Amino acid sequence: MPGLGDDVLVADSTMAGYEGMNGVFLLPTGRAALVESGTGLSAERTRRALEAHGIGPYDLAWIVVTHVHLDHAGGAGELARRFPSATVVVHPRGARHLADPERLTASARAVHGDLMDTVYGPMAPVEPQRIRAVEDGEEIDLGDRRLCVVHTPGHAPHHLVVQDDSTGVLFAGDAAGVRVDGMTSARPACPPPHFDRDATVAGMRRMAELKPARLLLTHFGDPGDPAAFLDDAEQRLRRWCSVAERLAAGDEAELEAELLRRFAADESMPADDPERFAVMGGFASNAVGLRQWARSRTGSEEVGTDALR
C-alpha cells in the first residue's frame, strides 16, 4: 500500500480494472481504521493489501464509509466479515442499507445496469450490532488520533466526511467532486436521485471552514491546495447547474451532450478514453442527476423516491 504521508496509506481498488480511480485509505497506527471500503468486487484485493501491510483479521478497529454508494460502501460487509473486530461507521441515513442492502442494490442496478456486475459486484450485509451510525460532530477514537465527523449532504443525503484531528487531513469522499488521473480540474459529482446543489455547496464551504491541511478524494488522492480546489469545485458545480437549469425541459441525452461539449476539454479529458471516466461519474449519470434536480426546482417534474429515502 503506497504511503500518502501523515500516516495514511492507500489501497487502489482498481474499479473496473482501472488504476487511480477508487481509493481505500488506511490509518494503520493506534486503533487501525479504513476510510472507505471500495466495491464488493474489490474487497478481497483490499484484504490482501491490508494483510501485506501487517493488518491481520483482528487488527482493524474501524471501517468508515463516507456514504453508502457502492463504490464507497459496497465492500463493507465482506471486509467486516474478514475483520471481525471492526466497527462499521456510517451516516444515520445509510445505516439500514448496510444491514440490509437489498433495496440499495436494486436501486443501484436500476441506475447502473450492467455496470453492477462488471464494476461494483455484490454487497454483503453488515451485522447490525457492528454498525455505528454517527451524528454530525461525533468523534471516532483511533487511540493516537481522532476522526471528527462532519455531515455533508448534497452529493447524497447520507454523505459525511471525516477529519484527522492530529494532521488536519480531511477525507472528502465525493462531497467536493472527483479528480482522477487524466483530469486537470474537478468534476462535479451529481448522481441521481438525490443530488442537491445548495446542500453540496454548503458542504464544500463547511469543509473550507475546517481549514484542512490536505484533502484526500476517494476518486482519487490529493488534489493539491484544499482552499483552491474547493473554490474551483464550487464554481464548476455552479456552471454545470446553470446548464442543467437552461436545459431542464429537454432530456438527459441533450444535457449530456452539452456537458460533454462544454466541459470535457476543460478537464483535459482524453477524447479516446470515455469508458474509464464513465465508471466513476461520467457525463451520462451526471446528466440524469442534474436534470432531476433542475426539474424538481421548477416543479415541472415529480422526482421519484427510492431506497435511500
Annotated domain spans of the chain: 3-236
Exposed, middle or buried: residue 210 (CB in 10 Å: 0-12, 13-18, 19+)? middle
- pLDDT less than 50: residues of the chain: 272, 302-309
Question: What's the rounded Cα separation, in Å, for the pair 235 and 240?
Answer: 9
Q: Which three cell numbers stand for residue 154?
A: 448534497
Spatial contact of 203 and 209, defined as CB atoms under 8 Å apart: no
pTM given for the model: 0.93
Question: What's the rounded Cα separation, in Å, for the pair 211 and 307?
Answer: 34
pLDDT digits (tens, 9 = 90+) for 51-108: 999 999 999 999 999 999 999 999 999 999 999 999 999 999 999 999 999 999 998 8
* Structure confidence at residue 273 (pLDDT): 57
Spatial contact of 90 and 65, defined as CB atoms under 8 Å apart: yes
Looking at CATH, the fold of the domain delimited by 3-236 is given as Metallo-beta-lactamase; Chain A (3.60.15)
